[in-house]
Homo-oligomer: A and B are copies of this chain.
Amino acid sequence: MLREGRLGKSVDAEFARYTSSLAFDRNILEYDILGSMAHALMLGRRGIIQEEEMKRILAGLLKIYRSRSVSLDHALEDVHVAVEARLFEEIGETAGKLHTARSRNDQVALDLRMLARDRINRISRALLALEEVLLKISGENKETPMPGYTHLQRAQPTTLAHHMLAHFWSFARDLERLEDAYRRVNLSPLGACALAGTSFPIDRTEVARLLGFSGIVENSQDAVASRDFLLEPLSALAILAVNLSRLAEELILWSTAEFGFVELSDELSSTSSIMPQKKNPDALEIMRARVARAIGNLTSAFALVKALPLAYNRDLQELSPVALDSFEILEASVSMLSRILSTAEFKHERMRATCEGDFLTATELADYLVREKGLAFRTAHRIVGRLVAGAVKAGISPDKITPEMLDDAALEVIGKPLGLSKEELECCLSLEKSIAGKRSTGAPSPPAVEESISRGEAKLAEFRARLEDRERKVKEAFEALLKEVERLAG
């Protein structure tokens, strides 16, 4: 019956299937009903519909909300039509009053903003948990040496704590970006109607307040036509995804027999039936691949919105499942990564041995020559380079280097010996001492890491407080709304 007004003839089945959004719409059903409740309440309070009508509508909506028994089949175009059809079954003609001063254009924008709001919070929560895992591993590994890489070549010694903190601070920016996006998502478009607002004396701010929004989207065409409230979170998620993929890639590398820095837990990897010592990092590979999908989803989203004239175009409907896919990918992946990390066993001995087998402290020796012997940086590098090249060629390990060898290298480069003592040399080339010396802010020495962890904890506490505030506001608004609806629906 609702349809009849909208489609000239009987519905063509293929057309209905091709254009239907119902497969996605179950994800916004709850929001659609809550939005209708707030709208009806406002209509009644402002006298746009009669109090009695309002009460009947609310009673009907409440019943539907509790049962969620809305038929989402292809014959009905979308969730908005489906809910209204259900409401009609419940309360008859009065159902038609609900659509006063409203359009499906502002309704769907509302529902999607409520969805995005919820998903951003859920992903933020998962990210907070991941950050805690990273801080925990860092706290436990302040003195676990491991090689730091550039170009995937071992470059300088660092610690597992310092490495994990690199990811911690990177994810902290992801959290910030989600917060920033949330501010622009958490605004109500309702009251924009089809595109030009309405002549009914509505109160847009009141509806926004009832639904826990922090404000409204000012312009009515903008409110129904814009989707940057999805493009921005999708962008933030793509960055997060890329950050995840970097850690996932490292864990995949570290799980190889060649690196051997980590062993994944049995529950979170698959093994070969024939080589039980081998564990396939399947979840991490899938994570890496889903990151690619988050990138592709972003491309879809941008290509979709590009060059669309205002205001609403049906194209926008296709953006919703794309956005949802990224929301789901990221929530699941962040959560999976927390579990993988918190159950992984890091192979401290192998990490240390890898550092020692190579001349990773060579830079430290060069720095010492600059600092104590007044050599220019480049000169010191040449001398140490010569020394290391000789040692590698002769198969001499770092702890076997003698002051004489260094002097030989110095003679070749600057024509005079340097005269370091055996102690000085050991001190420079020692793994522990080298790391301990890196005391600049954000560097791997245990005290610097300690400070960084403290700052990280403080930062997390702030994030958590703000997230809880956001969650609480939405929750309280919904509870208050439902309570009021229950009261009125009596």
Contacts and interface: CB of A to CB of B under 8 A. Distances in A.
B388 A275 contact: yes
A311 B184 contact: no
Contact of A158 (B196, B256, B381): B196
A397 to B, nearest CB: 13
A281 B217 contact: no
A43 B385 CA distance: 24
Nearest to A284: B314
B308 A18 contact: no
Q: How many copies does the complex hold?
A: 4
A101 B370 CA distance: 10
Contacts of A306: 242, 245-246, 288, 291-292, 295, 303, 306
Contacts of A448: 197
A272 B307 contact: no
Given A6-B272, A216-B442, A313-B285, A14 B339 contact: yes
A271 B6 contact: yes
A302 B309 contact: no
Interface size class of A (residues with CB under 8 A): 35 or more
Main DSSP-derived SS at the A contact region: helix
Contact of A148 (B221, B362, B384): B221
Contacts of A312: 150-151
Contact of A268 (B5, B12, B193, B271): B12
Nearest to A277: B392
Given A295-B302, A318-B286, A367-B198, A163 B310 contact: yes
A376 interface: yes
Interface string A376-412: 1111011011001100100000000000000000000
A141 interface: no
Interface string A48-92: 100000000000000000000000000001000000000000000
A177 B232 contact: yes
A162 B280 CA distance: 23
A393 to B, nearest CB: 9
Residue of A9, A221, A249 most packed against chain B (CB within 10 A)? A221
A319 B289 CA distance: 8
Nearest to A177: B232
Contacts of A77: 270
Contact of A302 (B236, B266, B303, B370): B303
A314 B239 contact: no
B253 A152 contact: yes
A463 interface: no
A455 B19 CA distance: 36
A309 B153 contact: no
A443 B197 contact: yes
Contact of A6 (B155, B273, B303): B273
Interface string A155-174: 11110001101111110011
Contacts of A174: 228
Interface in A183-217: 184, 191-202, 204-205, 216-217
21 contacts: A7-B270, A15-B268, A95-B376, A96-B379, A98-B377, A150-B280, A150-B311, A169-B218, A191-B440, A199-B437, A239-B302, A242-B306, A245-B306, A246-B305, A249-B307, A275-B362, A275-B385, A277-B358, A289-B318, A296-B303, A307-B307
Given A100-B370, A105-B150, 18 more contacts: A6-B270, A15-B336, A18-B336, A77-B270, A95-B376, A150-B313, A155-B278, A162-B221, A163-B221, A193-B440, A200-B440, A204-B442, A223-B442, A235-B238, A258-B354, A274-B381, A277-B389, A295-B302
